[in-house]
Amino acid sequence: MTRPDEPDFPIARLRDLVALGPLLLAGLGFWTVFALVFSIQWWLLAVPEPFPRIVADQLASWWPCALLTPPLAAVTLRIRALRLPPARALLLHAAGAAGFLLVGGALMGTFESLLPWSEATDGVLAAARQGVIRYLGPDLLLYCMVVAATMAAPGIVLKRPVGSGGSFKENAQLPTDITGERRSGTRASKKAGGKPTRQPKQPTDPAADRKAASAYAKEEERRRRERDREEAVRQKNRERRQRAIDKAQAALDAAREKHDTKAAEIRTEIEALEERLRNEDANWEKERARLDDLLRRARE
């Protein structure tokens, strides 16, 4: 019996999934095809060089990737197996990308400078430096592609039979000493007329038990620290969000108070203008009545 859904089971590493030799051969074949595609492209562009020389140039440029693909895949699987927070995993990938750009570009430039027809005359270090600069963009893209392809593959969980102390494997074998076999053996012995034989107790190893208990305690302590770190990060994020909310709320309250003050001033001015308008209308009515009376008298 196995329990693949147990969260404490380890995730398979690269050496658990494939041997180094076949992986190198597969990578070499892939990057050879990659180099041939670029060689055909340059040949179709009518580059003034023989096609074999173009192929050799491209192989010297891309074969270093075959050497770097296995360690890059292994590091990616290792980072995924650590189950780190996204920020820490991204930081590790950034460091890995920087190392890949330096090592990959240097190897590409060095391999190209070793070709007999190479025009590099400033030495291997200068060729390596030029390779880092020239292949900066392609190497970064290749790093992202290899990491994405590795992360896209499902994480294989290693398993072992429940209750056993065997090593973890991708396909765990069923335990050989199961309850059904014990019962069938007991019934067979009863039918034979003999007393059921008692299974001898497995000898205990106090040192191994103490070691297992110590390892369990250390793992529990590691998980507790990890939970505390995650909780501290969440608490810090909550406090940062709350500070942002308080700042925005304070700005909103200040703007509303300013608006209310201006609106009150404008309403006061409007009331004063309305009062002036009413007084002006009243004065006009009196003046108009007086002038109408004069006009009427003049007509008589």
105-150 tens-digit pLDDT: 788 777 777 777 776 667 778 877 877 887 777 777 777 877 777 7
**Residue 193 DSSP class:** T
The CB density around residue 101, as the number of other CB atoms within 10 Å, is 20
Residue 47 located in a structural domain: yes
Residue 81 lies inside a defined structural domain of this protein: yes
Whether residues 18 and 148 share a domain: the answer is: yes
Same domain, residue pair 223 and 135:
no
How many Å is the Cα radius of gyration of the chain?
Answer: 41
pLDDT in tens, 40-77: 887 787 777 788 877 887 787 777 777 777 777 777 77
Largest pairwise CA distance in the chain:
155
Inter-CA distances, 215 with 4, 79, 212, Å: 21, 22, 5
On whether residue 120 sits in a domain, the answer given is: yes
Within a domain: 185: no
Residues 145, 223 within the same domain: no
- Asked whether residue 7 is assigned to any structural domain, the reply reads no
Confidence of residue 12 (pLDDT cuts 50, 70, 90): low
Tell me how long the chain is.
300
Q: Whole-model pTM?
A: 0.40
**Residue scoring higher pLDDT (253 or 189):** 253
Instruction: State which of 152, 187, 205 marks the end of a domain.
Output: 152
Query: Percentage helix, strand, coil, to 5, in the chain?
Result: 75, 0, 25
First to last CA, the chain: 127
pLDDT: is 27 or 164 the higher one?
27
Instruction: List CB contacts of 71: < 8 A, sequence separation 6 or more.
Output: none
* 140 and 237 housed in the same domain: no
How many domains are there within the chain?
Answer: 2
Last residue within a domain, chosen from 105, 127, 152 = 152
Residue 44 structural domain: 14-152
Q: Locate tokens 């990057």: which residue?
A: 31
Between the alpha carbon of residue 248 and those of residues 209, 234, 255, 258, 264, the distances in Å are 58, 21, 11, 15, 24
**Cβ-proximal residues to 262 (8 Å cutoff; 6+ apart), any chain:** none
User: How large is the average pLDDT for residues 152-172?
Assistant: 54
- On whether residue 191 sits in a domain, the answer given is no
Where a domain ends, among 94, 129, 152? 152
How far is 292 from 289, CA to CA, in rounded Å?
5
CB within 8 Å of 290: residues ≥ 6 apart? none
My answer on whether 38 and 119 are in the same domain is yes
Predicted pLDDT of residue 106: 81
- Written as one letter, the residue type at 79 is I
Residue-wise pLDDT tens digits, 241-270: 999 999 999 999 999 999 999 999 999 999
Q: How many CB atoms lie within 10 A of CB 89?
A: 16
Q: Give the Cα separation of 175 and 178 in Å (integer).
A: 6
Least confident among 3-7, 120-124, 153-157: 3-7
Banded model confidence at residue 6, pLDDT cuts 50, 70, 90: very low
Q: What is the reported pLDDT for 247?
A: 93
